[in-house]
Amino acid sequence: MSKPIVAIVGRPNVGKSTLFNYIGKKRVSIVEDTPGVTRDRIYMDAEWLGRQFTMIDTGGIEFETNDKILTAMRHQAQLAIDEADAILFMVDGKTGITSSDHEVAAVLRNTRKPVLLVANKIDTIKNVHETYEFYNLGLGEPIPISAANALNIGDMLDALVACLPEEQTDQTENDEIKVAVIGRPNVGKSSLVNAIIGEERVIVSDIPGTTRDAIDTHFTKDGQYFVLIDTAGMRRKAKIAMPVERYSVIRSLRAVDRADVVLMVIDAIDGVTEQDKKIAGYAHEAGKGNIIVVNKWDLVEKDSKTSLRFTETIRHELGFLQYSPVLFASALTKQRVQRVSELIKYVADQHSMRVATSVLNQVIEDATAVNPPPSDRGKRLKIYYTTQPDVKPPTFVFFVNEPEIMHFSYLRYLENKLRESFGFEGTPLKLVVRGRK
């Protein structure tokens, strides 16, 4: 299932990130509160009235341009039009209309995608009349909100989910491993894809996938079915116009949404970029399997410690992807290209692995015997029972006496024990704590 994407567009300082953070705060829980992942995020999974969607703050996307604000805003608006399912255009209700608001509105009026005009910083009801001037933008009725004071945001979200497209289900099926190949332009994604499927039988290609603009490539290898998601333009490549490449961020998030396993391609010369970190964080939180491929390894002068040092640097920079295998490859010389598809299969298996309840409980019992659970005000946490209700990613539920006593560091300890015992290489784990008296 691919979630609809809502892009927030607007001048700097209108309050985009304030709204973003407010909506995001509502879903923080002990399991998801992973330090280092949430900082500086550009995307966020949200849910309102049972509809799930992904929100993107286009203000946080780095465009490959040093241009001034207006150009950056035009890029944002165009990006939203090209890639999002709905657009939330935010203006500053205090400052009133500016010339760049007019410019952006002109761009947004030319799309058929739903646009919601939101006037922020309407901090009290008596200021609502100040929003009327925004009718002049020609985008319908402005919705007054105050992101900082959490006013009228429920009504705004009502209006937002009402204009989202119907949910769509993927028709591709189960024994097929879905792979998203992501990474900055020019790291060698297309070359790698071509090298992987080069000698294999491509079953269907260039057939529009379920997401309107995605093109999937299906192939088999050693009896296993694979689909490479959103390889639109990838195999043909080179003639792709630059502007399309700039927009690859949202496209990548969409591909990640639909994938089981994400292949993060990193350039051996350039290393990990900020954009890589953001997308890797998204993949981690979305619970996807993950493999890091350091491509163009042929260009690196190596000694016996080079790959070790490189691995350490990557693990340091992508702190939350400690579980990902790192593979050094070259699409050009085909070094370890064969290994890539083997690893995809391996990680997909880990990602959907179920462990027997008896063994699981034995492992947790041993872990708590070695290192007792935390206590608080004389009360000690007790884990009664553990189950694994789900896979993709493997999800564990701990039934305990007092969920509040559970501590992040202790969950981390339990996660490490699960990994020591069962592997789970290349997959995040989801740990849930439930109270049971």
Nearer to ligand GDP, 156 or 400 (CB): 156
Name the minimum Å distance from CB 334 to ligand GDP.
9
Place of tokens 């009718």: 135
- According to the binding rule CB under 6 A, does residue 284 interact with ligand GDP? no
- According to the binding rule CB under 6 A, does residue 331 interact with ligand GDP? yes
Q: What type of residue sits at position 308?
A: L
- According to the binding rule CB under 6 A, does residue 197 interact with ligand GDP? no
CA distances from 16 to 19, 22, 84 (A): 5, 10, 16
Q: Check whether 61 is labelled as a binding-site residue.
A: yes
Nearer to ligand GDP, 277 or 296 (CB): 296
- According to the binding rule CB under 6 A, does residue 142 interact with ligand GDP? no
CA distances from 82 to 5, 106, 239, 282, 356 (A): 11, 15, 19, 20, 46
Binding ligand GDP by CB under 6 A: which of 258, 278, 284, 296? Answer: 296
Q: Check whether 296 is labelled as a binding-site residue.
A: yes
Which string of x and - marks every residue 14-53 that binds ligand GDP (by CB under 6 A)? Answer: xxxxx-----------------------------------
Place of tokens 């950056």: 72
CA distances from 325 to 284, 320, 342 (A): 14, 13, 12
Name the minimum Å distance from CB 111 to ligand GDP.
21
Nearer to ligand GDP, 123 or 133 (CB): 123
Q: Check whether 378 is labelled as a binding-site residue.
A: no
Q: Check whether 16 is labelled as a binding-site residue.
A: yes
Name the minimum Å distance from CB 238 to ligand GDP.
6
CA separation for the pair 412, 430 (Å, rounded):
11
Site residues for ligand GDP, window 66-95 (CB under 6 A)?
Answer: none
Q: Check whether 60 is labelled as a binding-site residue.
A: yes
297-328 burial, b at 16+ Cβ within 10 Å, e below that, comes to beeeeeeeeebeebeeebeebbebbebbbbbb
Name the minimum Å distance from CB 195 to ligand GDP.
8
Binding ligand GDP by CB under 6 A: which of 3, 41, 75, 121? Answer: 121
Q: Check whether 58 is labelled as a binding-site residue.
A: yes
The sign of the CA dihedral 306, 308, 310, 312 is negative
- According to the binding rule CB under 6 A, does residue 332 interact with ligand GDP? yes
Give the residue ranges of DSSP H helices in 352-399: 357-370
- Rounded to 5 degrees, φ, ψ at 200 are -90, 170
Paired strand residues for 52: 47
Binding ligand GDP by CB under 6 A: which of 45, 47, 82, 123? Answer: 123
Q: Check whether 184 is labelled as a binding-site residue.
A: yes
Q: Check whether 67 is labelled as a binding-site residue.
A: no
Binding ligand GDP by CB under 6 A: which of 2, 191, 341, 386? Answer: 191
Q: What is the DSSP string of 122-185?
A: --SGGGGGGGGGGGGGSSSPPEE-BTTTTBSHHHHHHHHHHTSPPP----S-TTEEEEEEE-ST
Name the minimum Å distance from CB 300 to ligand GDP.
10
CA separation for the pair 290, 310 (Å, rounded):
17
CA separation for the pair 398, 289 (Å, rounded):
22
Nearer to ligand GDP, 340 or 367 (CB): 340
- According to the binding rule CB under 6 A, does residue 388 interact with ligand GDP? no
Site residues for ligand GDP, window 150-189 (CB under 6 A)?
Answer: 183, 185-189
Nearer to ligand GDP, 265 or 321 (CB): 265
CB 170 within 8 A of CB 218: no
Name the minimum Å distance from CB 225 to ligand GDP.
23
CA separation for the pair 131, 77 (Å, rounded):
21
Nearer to ligand GDP, 328 or 398 (CB): 328
Nearer to ligand GDP, 22 or 385 (CB): 22
Q: Check whether 287 is labelled as a binding-site residue.
A: no
CB 269 within 8 A of CB 299: yes
Q: What type of residue sits at position 291?
A: I
- According to the binding rule CB under 6 A, does residue 386 interact with ligand GDP? no
Size of the site for ligand GDP (CB under 6 A): 33
Name the minimum Å distance from CB 339 to ligand GDP.
14
| Segment (H or E) for 226 | strand 224-229
The binding site for ligand GDP (CB under 6 A) comprises 10, 12-18, 59, 120-121, 123, 146-149, 183, 185-191, 234, 237, 295-296, 298-299, 330-332
